[in-house]
């Protein structure tokens, strides 16, 4: 590549990189991918042989970038539509590794934990239940029970510490 061609590409890069990345970002909504495609477009321009026959380098650059964008969309679509076909349509089942003794010990530990929760205040029990079993967020619990978020946080903490203490006493 001649010095003059190199210099014109450098000027094109300085003048158009920001604009090209903005155009790509407006279509992709991902800055990193837009920057990658922009860089690849400039690299392709640098690697192409004779740019003297190109009348409008900026238009050529933008067309190259948009072609790369189309390639990106095609690859993405192919990735999303690729499916894995199973030889056997039957669902895979894991072998049951539980034995009667393990199940019995687990049930005893669960019963002990449930019994220990009875030692907590009714408010603490209710907050813990709503959070862990109903899946409510702390803010939602606070609104439901008409208490502060701080109260909810403290009661969840109290219940969790109580459960940990109970399980460690075994």
Per residue in 149-168, is it b (16+ CB within 10 Å) or e — as a string? eebbeebbeebeebbeebee
pLDDT digits (tens, 9 = 90+) for 12-67: 888 888 898 898 888 888 889 889 989 998 888 888 777 777 778 888 888 888 99
Taking the whole predicted model, whether its pTM rises above 0.85 is answered as: no
Which residues fall within 8 angstroms of residue 170, CB to CB, at 6 or more apart? Answer: 109, 112
pLDDT digits (tens, 9 = 90+) for 93-134: 666 666 777 778 878 888 888 888 889 999 999 999 899 888
**What CA–CA distance (Å, rounded) separates 128 from 147?**
14
> Can you tell me which residue has the tokens 């929760």?
117
Domain boundaries, the chain: 3-81, 117-168
Q: What is the CATH number of domain 117-168?
A: 1.10.10.10
**What CA–CA distance (Å, rounded) separates 3 from 9?**
10
């Amino acid at each position: 590549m001649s010095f003059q061609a190199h210099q014109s590409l450098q000027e094109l890069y300085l003048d158009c990189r920001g604009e090209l990345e903005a155009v790509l970002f407006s279509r992709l909504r991902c800055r990193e991918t837009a920057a990658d495609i922009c860089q690849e477009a400039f690299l392709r321009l640098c690697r192409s042989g004779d740019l003297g026959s190109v009348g409008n380098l900026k238009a050529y650059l933008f067309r190259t970038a948009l072609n790369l964008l189309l390639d990106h969309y095609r690859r993405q679509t192919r990735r999303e539509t690729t499916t894995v076909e199973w030889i056997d349509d039957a669902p895979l089942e894991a072998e049951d590794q539980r034995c009667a003794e393990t199940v019995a010990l687990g049930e005893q530990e669960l019963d002990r934990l449930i019994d220990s929760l009875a030692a907590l205040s009714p408010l603490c029990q209710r907050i813990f239940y709503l959070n862990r079993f109903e899946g409510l967020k702390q803010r939602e619990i606070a609104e439901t029970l008409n208490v502060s978020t701080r109260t909810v946080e403290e009661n969840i903490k109290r219940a969790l510490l109580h459960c940990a203490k109970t399980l460690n006493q075994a």
